[in-house]
Amino acid sequence: GKSMQEQLRFAVCYWHSFGWAGTDPFGDPSFERPWHGAGEPMAQALHKADVAFDLFRLVDTPYFTFHDRDVAPEGASLAEFHTNLRRIGEVFARKMQDTGVRLLWGTANLFSHRRYMAGAATNPDPEVFSYAAAQVKNVLELTHELGGANYVLWGGREGYETLLNTDLKRELAQLGRFLQLVVEHKHKIGFKGQILIEPKPAEPTKHQYDRDVAAVFGFLREHGLEHEVKVNIEQNHALLAGQTFEHEIAMAQALGIFGSLDMNRGDELLGWDTDQFPNNLPQVALSLYEVLKGGGIGQGGLNFDAKLRRQSIDPDDLVWAHATAMDLCAQALLVAERMLQDGALQRHVQQRYAGWDGEAGRAILNGERSLEDLARDVAERGLDPRPRSAQQERLEHLVNSYL
């Protein structure tokens, strides 16, 4: 059959692997790569692309992901940025052809440059909105040309620090319009990939508008986009929103907007986005169980949005981190498959809700019973609940037997 890498559509992301150099809010870079620091920017970008595709092959990843800024130097103007991006795009196209590595998604960085410090789509200045729009147009087109399966929008600066200077209603409307423009352009150029929003509640802004799956769904409905845009769910972001990864996956599936996953591991003791490599078998297994139960990964994938720890300064650490994370997810997939095949959990769920499949249950959901009808039913029949144990301890323990 298909390899695990293919089944789960693993992806290596460009930014953590080749961009980040071990900085943190208190610390300078802790390691150096040949493309960090001084030198002709385009030469560095080309070198980085070589190393990137070497890593892709070494860890046998079928997909990768990138931001415009990760791969091409910004230059002095947007036009120059665009030219640089096109050049790298040609290099990518060739390397993808040679290696068979495909693009899971592309995205625009609308958060690092200081022009975006007050937001991109939600900026009080329409000039910044337009600049962001132009940037997205370029990467969306490149993503389309490279055969990308998805296009991601993470609203890192789409939020606020204080309401005292913020017109929240206006900013939401701007964000909605921005998204509509992206969707319109997607159709115009014939891009068949999914547009995905990546929710996150905070960081870098204090309050981000796309805080979790439920908030994104409400926003999409408000702008008539619930059939056009799905979500890319990240473990660490879910944790920051006070949710679990599994909850966000199940919620997105229930609302019909499940798109793709950013795999990593947050840490309950560190209340920020640490993006550690996933290493927790039971949790990843439960997450993949939800994915499988809901119909599988579809056009999405498992993007390792994970960075090395600051003290892992050896380039080999990067290979090990990816290889072991992929191995973990492959093991977790086997566990999730065992959980499904055994069927004990699903049988329990089916029995638990069986009443709703009967005539009385269906009549309620079909809208055939009013409150008065129901009150009369109960008065005539008497209430006849059958108290049953939910067997939670037993079911939770059962999971251990699949590990």
Q: Which residues are catalytic?
A: 67, 70
Our CB check for Mn ion shows the closer of 136 and 302 to be 302
In angstroms and rounded to an integer, the radius of gyration of the C-alpha atoms of the chain is: 23
Distance of CA 34 to the CA centre of its chain: 30
- Tokens (6 digits) for 74: 């910004």
Instruction: Give the integer Cα–Cα distance in Å for 204 and 117.
Output: 10
Yes or no: say if 284 and 329 are a contact pair by the CB < 8 Å rule: yes
Residue from 142, 34, 20, 12 nearest 87 by CA: 142
Question: Rounded distance, CA 40 to CA 38, Å?
Answer: 7
Residue nearest to Mn ion (CB): 119
Choose the one of Mn ion, ligand GLT, none that binds residue 15, judging by a C-beta under 5 to 8 angstroms depending on kind. ligand GLT
Choose the one of Mn ion, ligand GLT, none that binds residue 228, judging by a C-beta under 5 to 8 angstroms depending on kind: none
Which CB sits closer to ligand GLT, 73 or 106? 106
Residue 129 binds which one of Mn ion, ligand GLT, none, with CB within 5 to 8 A depending on kind?
none
Task: Give the whole-angstrom CA distance, residue 201 versus residue 207.
Answer: 6
Give the whole-angstrom CA distance, residue 86 versus residue 78: 12
CB atoms within 10 A of CB 350: 11
Residues that bind ligand GLT (CB under 6 A): 15, 67, 107, 152, 154, 198, 234, 262, 273, 305
Among Mn ion, ligand GLT, none, the one that 119 touches (CB under a kind-dependent 5 to 8 A) is Mn ion
Binder of residue 122, out of Mn ion, ligand GLT, none (CB less than 5 to 8 A by kind):
Mn ion
Contact 302, 11 (CB under 8 A): yes
Residues making contact with Mn ion (CB under 5 A): 118-119, 122, 160, 234, 236, 262, 273, 275, 305
Residue closer to Mn ion (CB basis): 52 or 197: 197
Smallest distance, ligand GLT to C-beta of residue 374, A: 46
CA distance 140 to 196: 12
Q: If contact means CB under 5 to 8 A according to the sort of partner, which of ligand GLT, Mn ion, none does residue 107 touch?
A: ligand GLT
- Cβ 199 to ligand GLT shortest distance, Å: 10
Nearer to Mn ion, 151 or 402 (CB): 151
Select 154 or 160, whichever has its Cβ closest to ligand GLT: 154
Q: Residue 230 forms beta bridges with which residues? A: 196
Q: Which of 267, 269, 245 minimizes the C-alpha distance to 258?
A: 245
C-alpha span between 334 and 355 (Å, rounded): 32
End-to-end CA distance of the chain: 22
Give φ, ψ of 2 to 5 degrees: -70, 150
State the minimum distance, in angstroms, from the CB of residue 261 to ligand GLT. Answer: 11
- Cβ at position 267, least distance to ligand GLT in Å: 15
| Nearer to ligand GLT among residue 72 and residue 152 (C-beta) | 152
Q: Give the separation between CA 209 and CA 200, rounded to whole angstroms.
A: 8
Q: Can you tell me the distance from the alpha carbon of 64 to that of 143, in angstroms, rounded to the nearest whole number?
A: 12
- Residue 343 CB, nearest approach to ligand GLT (Å): 35
Nearer of residues 158 and 198 to ligand GLT, judged by Cβ: 198
Nearest one of 284, 278, 269, 332 to 306, comparing CA atoms: 278
Q: Which does 17 bind (CB under 5 to 8 A by kind): Mn ion, ligand GLT, none?
A: none
Q: From the CB of 198, what's the least distance to Mn ion, in Å?
A: 5
The long-range contacts involving 382-391, CB below 8 angstroms and separated by at least 24 positions, are 388/352, 390/352, 391/348
Least CB distance to ligand GLT at residue 198 (A) = 5
Q: What residues does 260 pair with on adjacent strands? A: 232
